[in-house]
């Protein structure tokens, strides 16, 4: 008697609820979105020029200060584009001493819960229309790059990276993810320069280990731009550096902290290349104190410390922050961390360029 072949279970569909707790909805693939919002050959060449300029600063071939500045997070593309237009004009005036890179952060890490960024919830209403969010983020980055500005962002969700990594010239790996093997593997395959932040405790050991790991080739699990599971093979990324952002013990941008970080990098056999995040613990979470931190970095540069290659600023059109209330949002004001206003930012960077001249 022939054995009865058991019936196969129906294949899961994209909308099927599994185990009562998970729902899967389709998104466009990275290849599809890139096809809908392509880059011209001219823009592609310009982005490569931006990447080369940042690498030249990192390699000591260009003595300008790298300045990554912009809103803590992007929630209003119109306001972001206005900021970009102002920053592009400022870059024209200060480009002999500063290389200005716009911070276009479309993902935000959350300690518990909260708004996760433009790529997740572009309508600011909890609907989490990620398909629209990814398209909005890519379109905005393309528009800003068209203005002649290099683009910087923090890559938080590795699966989202392929939707816009062809637009990026500088990438941050945050304090909470620097220790993540997945993010180190991601960084090892990027064409952009990557800054690894020190851990939330303030120690630089995890960032140094990340720099070493990202420099090596890797083979890891991933998803292709066509949306299929894939073995990803990377060549290793030598264009990486440490970002000092302070920690639970306080700021780490002063001469003693910088010297200790420089020694730690050199003892690990790495180039002493550091960027200072003027916000977060370095400003003791007071956005106005970013000014003091930047002045301190300039003082150290003028005293001969060429290991300090860059700074980060949180800045928007108007100072401060506001709660996320879609019915009453003030234009050009951050909905996450408080930011410097444009007038202060402009004066601060003009003064920095003047001093560095």
- Mean pLDDT of all residues belonging to the chain: 94
Q: Are 104 and 163 in contact (CB under 8 A)?
A: no
Distances 160 to 46, 182, 245, 312 between C-alpha atoms, Å: 23, 13, 24, 23
Summarize the confidence of residues 210-235 as an average pLDDT. 97
Q: With bands split at pLDDT 50, 70 and 90, how would you rate the model's confidence at 9?
A: very low
Looking at the predicted structure, is the pLDDT value of residue 237 above 70? Answer: yes
Percentage of residues in the chain with pLDDT exceeding 90?
Answer: 92
Among candidates 127, 133, 129, which has minimal Cα distance to 107?
Answer: 133
340 DSSP β-pair partners: 315
Q: How far is CA 111 from CA 6, 159, 175, 308, 345, in A?
A: 47, 20, 12, 30, 28
Residue 100 has pLDDT above 60, yes or no: yes
Closest by Cα among 36, 269, 71, 252 to 154: 71
pLDDT of residue 19: 57
Return the CATH fold of 43-356.
Answer: TIM Barrel (3.20.20)
pLDDT tens readout for residues 263-319: 999 999 999 999 999 999 999 999 999 999 999 999 999 999 999 999 999 999 999
Please state the rounded mean pLDDT for residues 78-99: 98
Dihedrals phi, psi of 230, to nearest 5 degrees:
-150, 155
For the residues 93-101, what does the mean pLDDT come to?
Answer: 98
User: How far is it, in rounded angstroms, from Cα 63 to Cα 61?
Assistant: 7
Q: Is the pLDDT of residue 155 over 70?
A: yes
> Cα dist. 245→28, 59, 201, 202, 324 in Å?
35, 22, 10, 8, 26
What pLDDT is recorded for position 8? 42
Residue 1 has pLDDT above 60, yes or no: no
**Residue extents of the structural domains in the chain:** 43-356
Residue with tokens 């003693």: 256
For Cα atoms 290, 138, 84, give the angle at the middle one, nearest 5 degrees: 40
Summarised one tens digit per residue, pLDDT across range 250-279 is: 999 999 999 999 999 999 999 999 999 999
CA nearest to 102, candidates 276, 345, 329, 284: 345
Q: How confident is the model at residue 20 (pLDDT cuts 50, 70, 90)?
A: confident
């Amino acid at each position: 008697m022939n054995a009865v072949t058991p019936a196969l279970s129906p294949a899961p569909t994209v909308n099927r609820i599994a185990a009562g707790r998970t729902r899967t909805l389709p998104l466009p693939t990275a290849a599809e979105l890139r096809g809908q919002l392509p880059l011209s050959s001219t823009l592609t060449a310009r982005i490569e020029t931006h990447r080369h300029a940042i690498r030249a600063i990192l390699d000591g071939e260009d003595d300008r200060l790298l300045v990554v500045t912009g809103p803590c997070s992007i929630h209003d593309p119109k306001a972001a584009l206005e900021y970009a237009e102002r920053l592009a004009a400022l870059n024209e005036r200060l480009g002999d001493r500063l290389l200005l890179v716009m911070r276009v952060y479309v993902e935000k890490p959350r300690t518990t819960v909260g708004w996760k960024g433009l790529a997740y919830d572009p309508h600011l209403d909890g609907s989490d229309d990620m398909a629209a969010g990814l398209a909005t983020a890519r379109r905005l980055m393309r528009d800003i790059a068209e203005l002649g500005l290099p683009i910087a962002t923090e890559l938080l969700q590795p699966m989202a990276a392929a939707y816009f990594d062809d637009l990026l010239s500088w990438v941050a790996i945050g304090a909470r993810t620097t220790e993540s093997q997945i993010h180190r593997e991601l960084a090892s395959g990027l064409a952009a320069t990557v800054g690894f932040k020190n851990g939330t405790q303030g120690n630089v050991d995890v960032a140094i280990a990340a720099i070493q790991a990202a420099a090596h080739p890797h083979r890891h699990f991933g998803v292709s731009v066509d949306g299929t599971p894939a073995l990803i093979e990377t060549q290793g990324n030598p264009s990486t550096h440490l970002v000092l952002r302070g920690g639970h013990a306080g700021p780490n941008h002063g001469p003693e902290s910088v010297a200790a970080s420089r020694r730690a990098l050199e003892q690990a056999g790495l180039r002493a290349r550091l960027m200072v995040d003027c916000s977060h613990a370095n400003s003791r979470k007071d956005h106005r104190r970013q000014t003091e931190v930047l002045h301190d970095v300039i003082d150290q540069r003028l005293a001969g410390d060429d290991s300090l290659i860059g700074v980060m600023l949180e800045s928007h059109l108007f100072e401060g922050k506001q709660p996320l209330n879609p019915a009453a949002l003030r234009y050009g004001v951050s909905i996450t961390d408080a930011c410097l206003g444009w007038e202060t930012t402009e004066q601060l960077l003009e003064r920095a360029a003047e001093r560095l001249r």
